[in-house]
């Protein structure tokens, strides 16, 4: 059990953990490239390490040398794995590598932790199947195995039913692996780390609003990549500063990724009245980066829905905390995606906020939270 006691002001400058989405993509695209990719500030969490372990099993040399991870690209020519590929808890690893392996010349078996094995794969398998991929699921006791029989894939335009960076990236990776032109269209724009990094690596990629066009012929070349701090992790410290009642509170977060497809939560918090400054803006490896400064604020309720949702889906739990301490009602809708994470996050948020006496109502696709008017 952990006991937490109120204290005085929160003050300090820190750099939160590196961005997980960019870390996954850096090692994958480095593997597909010609030459060497050096990655600074790679997130060395379990999910990214699972991706690295699988790429090593596929014959890629990935080693840590000093402060950098060095990936020796194999130009997308992988070796057939000798064992089942274990994805741990990582939905990103499973979905992205399912796409990557769909266009190979061998069969791969992927599995994960029981919690990952319960998460749906149908919406990834269906569009990849439309590309000509052969993918099916097998159940061996309590273990789910995703069987990917690599083959030559078809070119075409593929419409995905939800705004999902993982699904979009899986299709683009399949297109890269099979050297076929691929266009992916989604209902709203999801995070675009894949598009930015592919362009930096030399892919022939074109983005038109919610459609991404990938043409064959662009040779990926190894790059120097510096991974920024993760905005999703930064959001917890931002909210901690905003809801702290001590006026001396001030938190500075250094080198945070502020990609506009990821910072919907920043827009929502500012709309709620948050005092957050964005300073020292710059671009690193194609990604916008800045320092964030947060101070105590009087927050008010708001509505979060529609095209905003893909840009803040991972921040909804901490936004719910901010909403609970705001003045008035906050309504979150169009967020049914939260129910198919590693847990049903909508239900979990309702359960935990209720324990603190917050008036919160569960909706099929979101929440209604009645703030306690700043009575921290």
Active-site positions read: 314
| CB 28, CB 96: distance < 8 Å | yes
Q: Quote the distance between the C-alpha of residue 95 and its chain's center.
A: 12
Strands (E) in the chain, as ranges, are: 11-14, 36-40, 61-65, 68-72, 85-86, 107-111, 134-140, 143-149, 156-159, 182-185, 204-208, 211-215, 224-226, 250-257, 275-284, 287-295, 303-304, 329-332, 359-363, 366-370
DSSP assignment of 300-360? B--EE-GGGGGGTGGGHHHHHHHHHTSBSEEEE-S-GGGGGSSS-HHHHHHHHHHHTT-EE
Enumerate residues 6+ apart whose C-beta is below 8 A from 209: 189
Residue 58 and residue 109 in contact, taking contact as beta carbons nearer than 8 Å = no
């Amino acid at each position: 059990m952990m006991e937490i006691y109120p204290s005085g002001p929160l003050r300090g400058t820190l750099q939160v953990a590196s961005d997980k989405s960019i870390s996954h993509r850096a090692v994958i695209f480095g593997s597909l490239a010609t030459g060497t990719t050096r990655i600074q500030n790679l997130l060395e969490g379990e999910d990214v390490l699972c991706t690295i372990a699988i790429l090593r099993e596929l014959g890629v040399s990935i080693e840590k040398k000093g402060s950098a991870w060095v990936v020796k690209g194999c130009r997308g020519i992988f070796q057939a794995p000798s064992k089942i590929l274990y994805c741990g808890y990582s939905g990103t690893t499973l979905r992205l590598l399912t796409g990557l392996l769909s266009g190979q010349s061998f069969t791969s078996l992927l599995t994960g932790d029981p919690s990952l094995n319960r998460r749906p794969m149908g919406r990834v398998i269906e569009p990849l199947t439309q590309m000509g991929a052969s993918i099916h699921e097998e159940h061996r006791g309590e273990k789910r195995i995703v069987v990917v029989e690599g083959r030559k894939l078809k070119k075409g335009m593929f419409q995905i039913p939800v705004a999902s960076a993982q699904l979009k990236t899986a299709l683009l990776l399949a297109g890269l692996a099979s050297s076929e032109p691929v266009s992916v269209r989604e209902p709203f724009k999801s995070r675009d780390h894949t598009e930015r990094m592919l362009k930096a690596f030399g892919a022939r990629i074109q983005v038109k609003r919610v459609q991404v066009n990938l043409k064959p012929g662009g040779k990926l070349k190894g790059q120097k990549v510096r991974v920024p701090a993760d905005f999703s992790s930064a959001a917890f410290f931002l909210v901690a500063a905003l809801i702290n009642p001590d006026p001396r509170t001030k938190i500075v977060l250094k080198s945070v990724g502020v990609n506009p497809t990821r910072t919907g939560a920043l827009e929502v918090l500012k709309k709620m009245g948050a005092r957050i400054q964005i300073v020292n803006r710059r671009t690193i490896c194609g990604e916008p980066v800045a320092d964030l400064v947060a101070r105590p604020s009087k927050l008010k309720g708001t509505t979060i829905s529609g095209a905003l949702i893909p840009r803040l889906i991972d921040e909804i739990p901490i936004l719910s905390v901010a909403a609970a301490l705001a003045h008035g009602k906050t309504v979150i809708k169009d967020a049914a995606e939260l129910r198919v994470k590693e847990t049903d996050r909508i239900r979990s948020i309702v359960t935990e906020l209720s324990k603190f006496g917050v008036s919160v109502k569960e909706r099929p696709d979101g929440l209604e939270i009645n703030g306690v008017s700043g009575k921290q």
